[in-house]
Chain A
Amino acid sequence: MGIPRFWRETPSRYNLIGTKCGSCGMIHFPPRVICPSCHRKSIGKMERTHLSGKGTIVSYSIVHDAPHSFEMQKPYVVAIIELEGGCRLTAPIIDCSPSDVAIGMDVEATFRKLGEQGEDGVIHYGYKFRPAREATK
């Protein structure tokens, strides 16, 4: 991914900023310019909105055959998470053993390194999710 493309996505990757359709109220993440339900009715009505960093795991997969840059982290979990407010996104689940992850588990957003463009390249940061503090107590 080029530097400008990732840089443009910094607000959403750092702070879970999505969009809310001013016509139907649907929340989207990543942010959209036009609502896929309302189409032209949503033009000019898409509002920037902060998504909740809390959610629930809807489904997940354990990755055993990782890309080279994630060799040190395997096996790792990637999950579909339903956030409070009704928006779904895909993110890694960290700070727990893959065997601890379950559908319905409460999770919360955290800030981690997502990757880097080689040893001398730009480092990318953004959200990952971990078991919610209440769930780990």
Chain B
Amino acid sequence: MKVGIVSYGGYIPRWRIRPQDIASTWGTDGDAISRGLNIRSKSVPYPDEDVITISVEATRNLMKKVQIDPKDIGAIYVGSESHPYAVKPSATVVAEAIEASPNLTAADYEFACKAGTAAIQTCMGMVSSNMIRYGIAVGSDTSQGAPGDPLEYSASAGGAAFLIGMEDVIATINSTISYTTDTPDFWRREGQTYPKHGGRFTGQPAYFKHTLTCAQRLFEEADTKPGDYDYAVFHQPNGKFPVSAGRKLGFSMEQIETGLLVPEIGNTYSGAVLLGLANILDEADPGSRIFMIGYGSGAGSDGFDITVKDEIENIRTNNCPTIMEMVENANFIDYATYAKFRGKIRL
């Protein structure tokens, strides 16, 4: 038996703001920014939503698709760079909320935008070595952009959860590979509210170097080429980078577009590539092959070669909304409301 995805679920808050509404506050050209980033709107969490609530909702959507006993879940890892607590795990709340407690291991991960894919790799190792029967990996964020910073136009909220196991697998993970270096392109110091970044340094030496190198290594590891895949999904800090990276690797827009959610919901950080994968799994036919490369600043990329199995039809229920339903369930707000929701107005 090969390790793979047994179930998955996602969650996207319903509130949205357009770049034009942010730009009008700061006196910048919203249309140009929207075109430049290829972002038409971004998701915004309500004041009562955070990484824990998003992770719980995504994990509950995952559980609604399968009939497994939560007590068979041996590990839960929540990857995020916006955990509500600096000290106290998000993962314990998720475990309690799906009644998987107490006989399991749980922890929070942080690796900028790729903490969720790192959690998948951990679960794969634990399942493959028979330490656990099932593991849950979550990537979720309510990312922050400082007022007026370019990040404010893209940093959004959302998350996805994946149940990893070797029984009733709906998509096998044929291989995974990583590429990691010490590259300070984006960071948030302890106690700071907003992250800082290296501007253009986040591009070629960071996102593209790691994404493209990891992709090439995955092609070699899996002995494949772009034409072997039906879908390709990349970390999506904006709408331009993943398309550019995909094109450089030889993928077509047809292969990229299903996993590209950033134009409508913004950059959900740890949730971004995983929500793209979840949207692909919502529509993929059995036999489809998926090429996935996550990226996290700091910096590293995780690559996955995935094949969808016939069993995917078994979990396509109407119990929970599809990713596209969540994308389309949008309610637009102005900048003042956005500032209130995000705690940028202090009372």
Contact = CB atoms under 8 A, between A and B. Distances in A.
Contact of B56 (A68, A94, A111, A136): A111
Contact of A113 (B53, B60, B97, B345): B53
Contacts of A111: 53, 56-57, 60, 97
B47 A73 contact: yes
B340 A125 contact: no
B50 A72 contact: no
A136 B53 contact: no
Interface in A103-118: 110-114
Contact of A72 (B57, B60, B340): B340
A29 interface: no
Interface string A97-133: 0000000000000111110000000010100100001
A3 B172 CA distance: 43
Contact of A125 (B52, B60, B343, B345): B52
A84 interface: no
Contacts of B329: 136
Nearest to A10: B96
B195 to A, nearest CB: 19
B321 A133 contact: yes
A113 B53 CA distance: 7
B57 A110 contact: yes
B50 to A, nearest CB: 6
A10 B53 CA distance: 14
Contacts of A125: 52-53, 56, 93, 97
A123 B49 contact: no
B84 A123 contact: yes
Contacts of A94: 46, 48
Contacts of A113: 47-50, 52-53
Contact-residue bracket for chain B: 20 to 34
A68 B347 contact: yes
B229 interface: no
A65 interface: no
A95 B13 CA distance: 9
Nearest to B60: A111
Interface string B49-81: 110110011001000000000000000000000
Contacts of B341: 72
Contacts of A71: 347
Contacts of A73: 46-48
Nearest to B56: A111
Interface in A53-81: 68, 71-73
Nearest to A115: B48
A15 interface: yes
A62 B184 CA distance: 48
A72 B84 CA distance: 18
A112 B347 contact: no
A14 B94 CA distance: 10
Contacts of B321: 133
Contacts of A72: 47, 340-341, 343, 345, 347
Interface in B167-204: none
Given A72-B47, A73-B47, A113-B53, 11 more contacts: A10-B96, A14-B93, A68-B347, A72-B341, A111-B53, A112-B48, A113-B52, A114-B48, A125-B53, A125-B56, A133-B320
22 contacts: A10-B96, A14-B93, A14-B97, A15-B99, A71-B347, A72-B340, A72-B343, A72-B347, A73-B46, A73-B47, A73-B48, A94-B48, A95-B14, A111-B53, A111-B56, A111-B97, A112-B46, A112-B48, A112-B49, A113-B50, A113-B52, A128-B48
Interface of B: 14, 46-50, 52-53, 56-57, 60, 84-85, 93, 96-97, 99, 320-321, 329, 340-341, 343, 345, 347
Please list the 7 inter-chain residue pairs (A to B) with the smallest Cβ-Cβ separation, ordered nearest first: A112-B48, A111-B56, A113-B48, A72-B47, A14-B97, A112-B53, A111-B53
